[in-house]
Amino acid sequence: MTASTHPRIQPVDRALEPALRARVDGKAKPPGSLGRIEDLAVQLGLIRNSLAPKVERVVLLVFAGDHGLTEEGVSRYPASVTAAMVATFLAGRASVNAFAAAAGVEVRVVDAGVAADLPAHPDLIAAKIRAGTRNATREPALTRMEVDTALARGAELAASAIMAGADAIAIGEMGIGNTASAALIMHRLAPAALDECVGAGAGQDEAGMVRKRAALARAASRSAATHPHEVLSEFGGCEIVMMAGAVLGAAAQRRPILVDGFIASAAALAAIRLEGAARDYCVFAHRSAERGHARLLEAVDAQPLLALDMRLGEGTGAVLAAPLLRAAARLLSDVADLSEVVPA
- Burial class, 22, CB count within 10 angstroms (exposed 0-12 / middle 13-18 / buried 19+): exposed
**β pairing state of 105-113 and 257-259:** unpaired
**Measured in Å, how far apart are the chain's first and last C-alpha atoms?**
57
Amino acid (1-letter code) at residue 8:
R
Residue 60 Ramachandran class (φ > 0 left, ψ -120 to 50 alpha, else beta): beta
Which of 156, 234, 314, 340 is flagged as catalytic? Answer: 314
Q: Which of 325, 322, 285 is nearest to 302 (CA)?
A: 285
C-alpha to C-alpha distance for 181 and 195, rounded to whole angstroms: 14
CB 170 within 8 A of CB 260: yes
Neighbours of 17 (CB within 10 A): 14
Sheet with strand 257-259: strands edge to edge: 124-126, 105-113, 58-65, 168-174, 257-259, 282-284
Q: For residue 196, indicate whether it is catalytic.
A: no
Partners of residue 274 on adjacent β-strands: none
Report the catalytic residues: 314
